């Protein structure tokens, strides 16, 4: 019973992520068609973001493996600590890979 809950939760998370990935690709293709030949080609930036995301995933997996979640409370601690470590790794990797200061990466306005 307990294992099936974990499998359902994992399947739900994977489906959620896959749905966002598919929607992002479809919106990107639609935007590229609409902008035509003068559109920017951000493949290098996308590759850097994917690498940073992979690094963040690896860090979160390691942290989650280190924290022994034997109860709901420790599971919550594992999620929070792994999430914070992954966010820090992602921000640091973006800073290194793009060369853009973190303040500019999170800025809403370019002005």
Quick one: which of 49, 55, 59, 58 has its CA closest to 21? 49
Rounded CA separation 14/77 (Å): 22
Q: Residue 21 has what pLDDT?
A: 87
The answer to whether the Cα torsion of 15, 19, 22, 25 is positive or negative is negative
Per the structure, how many domains does the chain have?
2
> Do both 108 and 56 map to the same domain?
yes
The residue segments making up the domain with residue 7 are 1-40
> Do both 70 and 102 map to the same domain?
yes
Rounded CA separation 7/36 (Å): 43
Token pair for 25: 């690709």
Structure pTM?
0.66
Q: Residue 99 has what pLDDT?
A: 86
> Do both 56 and 75 map to the same domain?
yes
Helix, strand, or coil here: 108? coil
> Do both 94 and 51 map to the same domain?
yes
Residue 110 has pLDDT above 60, yes or no: no
Token pair for 28: 């990107």
> Do both 87 and 52 map to the same domain?
yes
Phi-psi region of 105 (alpha: psi -120 to 50; beta: other; left: phi over 0): alpha
Q: Residue 98 has what pLDDT?
A: 86
> Do both 27 and 76 map to the same domain?
no
Residue 25 has pLDDT above 80, yes or no: yes
Q: Is the Cβ–Cβ distance between 100 and 48 less than 8 Å?
A: no
> Do both 63 and 105 map to the same domain?
yes
> Do both 92 and 50 map to the same domain?
yes
pLDDT tens-digit series, residues 63-99: 988 887 888 888 898 899 999 999 999 999 989 998 8
């Amino acid at each position: 019973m307990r294992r099936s809950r974990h499998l359902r939760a994992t399947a739900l998370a994977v489906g959620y992520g896959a749905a966002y990935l598919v929607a992002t690709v479809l919106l990107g293709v639609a935007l590229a068609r609409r902008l035509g030949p003068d559109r920017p080609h951000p493949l290098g930036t996308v590759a850097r973001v994917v690498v940073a995301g992979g690094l963040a995933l690896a860090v979160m997996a390691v942290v989650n493996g280190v924290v022994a979640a034997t109860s709901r409370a420790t599971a919550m601690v594992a999620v929070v600590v792994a999430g914070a470590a992954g966010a820090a790794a992602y921000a640091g990797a973006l800073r290194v890979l793009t060369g853009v200061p973190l303040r500019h990466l999170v800025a809403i306005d370019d002005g």
